[in-house]
Amino acid sequence: MQNIDLPSVKNDYDRDGYVFIREFLSKEEIDAVNRELEDFIQNEVSTMPSSYVFYEDNNDQSTLKQLQDIHRHSLYFERILRGSKFEEIATVLLEEKVIGKNLEYFNKPPRIGKPTPPHQDGYYFMLNPPKAVTMWLALEDADEENGCVRYIRGSHLTGMRTHGRTKTLGFSQGITDYGKEDFTKETAFPAKPGDLLIHHAMTIHRADGNKSDRSRRALGFIYFGESAKEDVEAKAAYQQKLSEERLVSQDQK
């Protein structure tokens, strides 16, 4: 990371709850990631547990919107998550050894990609203390038309907001009292392939749906600080509830 001013990145992250690093991956690097991802989708998705694979339309495989834990099914993606420059910068931001927890694929398919509800990742993580970062790597152009990420600056310092059930597949919880004042505080981050967004587990963020004829593909990296402890029982109960609700939803279609 020779061209990255790490002290400046750390300062921005601590102040704002997020940081935007342009061209974190070069064109050659992002092209390689996209090739590996295409191969993964073609050859590995069918072997993954159904609870880790999400489609906007279960009857149309072209509407793939999210994959969980792809590093568990690919040595290539395992090496990107762990022992990489992504892990290195997470260590700088969290100021301690980190644990790579998840590498996810996100997409908003053209015209039908749904909005991502406003939320704080810490609500899902159930950590004490909430020392974790999420990284969002653009694989193609993301803008206000196809659903770029939006943050509320400094929201990582204001505590956990009330969350409740949403109807958005893959994002089961959202902030229930998100209102007009919140929308006015948002900052949108259009991104190019290879650009990287990083945010604190408590930072409020969301994204609009995809109104364009283009997809909006990205990878998500999750790192926990070594000192962060999971409420294992609460998380297991939460995951079980989600699985049951998903089965009911599929049976009703």
- In the predicted model, what is the mean pLDDT of the chain? 93
Give CA separation, 252 vs 113, 172, 245, in Å: 21, 18, 11
Q: Which residue has the higher pLDDT, 104 or 166?
A: 104
Instruction: Mean pLDDT check: name the lowest of 57-66, 70-79, 100-109, 179-188.
Output: 57-66
Instruction: List pLDDT tens digits, range 174-218.
Output: 999 999 999 999 999 999 999 999 999 999 999 999 999 999 999
Delimit the domains of the chain by residue range: 6-251
pLDDT at 252 over 70: no
What is the model's pLDDT at position 250?
A: 47
What is the model's pLDDT at position 236?
A: 76
pLDDT at 244 over 80: no
Q: What's the pTM?
A: 0.92
Please give the CATH number for the structural domain made up of 6-251.
2.60.120.620
Instruction: List pLDDT tens digits, range 15-34.
Output: 999 999 999 999 999 999 99
| Closest to 219 (Cα-Cα) out of 98, 75, 66, 6 | 66
pLDDT at 251 over 60: no
pLDDT at 123 over 90: yes
Burial group, residue 118, by CB count within 10 angstroms (0-12, 13-18, 19+): buried
What is the model's pLDDT at position 151?
A: 98
Which string of b and e fits 190-224 if b means at least 16 CB within 10 Å?
ebebbbbbbbbbbbbbbbbbbebebbbbbbbbbbb
The sign of the CA dihedral 56, 60, 62, 66 is: positive
Q: Which residues contact 5 (CB under 8 A, 6 or more apart)?
A: none
Cβ atoms 189, 20 nearer than 8 A: yes
| CA–CA dist 121, 170 (Å, integer) | 12
| Closest to 121 (Cα-Cα) out of 154, 87, 161, 158 | 161
| Closest to 71 (Cα-Cα) out of 60, 85, 82 | 82
- 205-207, strands of its sheet edge to edge: 116-119, 205-207, 149-152, 186-189
